Amino acid sequence: MAHDQNCIFCKIINGEVPSAKVFENDDVYAFLDLSQVTKGHTLVIPKDHQANIFELQEETAAKLFSVVPKIARAVRDAFQPLGLNLMNNNGKEAEQTVFHYHVHIIPRYGKEDGYK
């Protein structure tokens, strides 16, 4: 499995940097985003280091997205949002700041949830 020793998400996967775990299996890790844009904001990442959608391998994508519905339902059950958005930034100009592929799960609580 590819690992980048300078990557903050690789450090989270191997436990060097603490995180609030939401889900884990052999290939995927999910944890609460440090900066909660809404309550329950979660990141889903492959354990294999791939920078973004332009590098993401099909097999890695399949493994990751096969557990996204389960994680989304767990977030829904824990935080009781009215809905949620899936979001993914790819490239600096598209607001990607961490270059280890990740999907944001952003729970939505109605007009006043502070997330535009």
Residues of this chain that interact with ligand 5GP (CB under 6 A) are 8, 17, 19, 31-35, 89, 95-98
Binding Zn ion by CB under 5 A: which of 41, 47, 49, 102? 49
Among the residue ranges 44-52, 61-69, 82-90, 104-112, the one whose residues contact Zn ion (CB under 5 A): 44-52
- Kindly write down the DSSP assignment for every residue of 58-87, as one continuous string: HHHHHHHHHHHHHHHHHHHHHH--SEEEEE
Site membership for Zn ion, residue 9 (CB under 5 A) = yes
- Rounded to 5 degrees, what are φ and ψ at 76? -60, -45
102 is catalytic: yes
H/E run at residue 104? strand 103-108
Whether residue 24 contacts residue 12, with contact meaning beta carbons closer than 8 Å, is answered with no
- Rounded to 5 degrees, what are φ and ψ at 103? -110, 130
Binding Zn ion by CB under 5 A: which of 41, 47, 100, 102? 100
Among the residue ranges 46-54, 74-82, 90-98, 107-115, the one whose residues contact Zn ion (CB under 5 A): 46-54
CA distance 95 to 97: 6
Active-site residue, from 41, 49, 100, 102: 102
Among the residue ranges 36-44, 58-66, 87-95, 97-105, the one whose residues contact Zn ion (CB under 5 A): 97-105
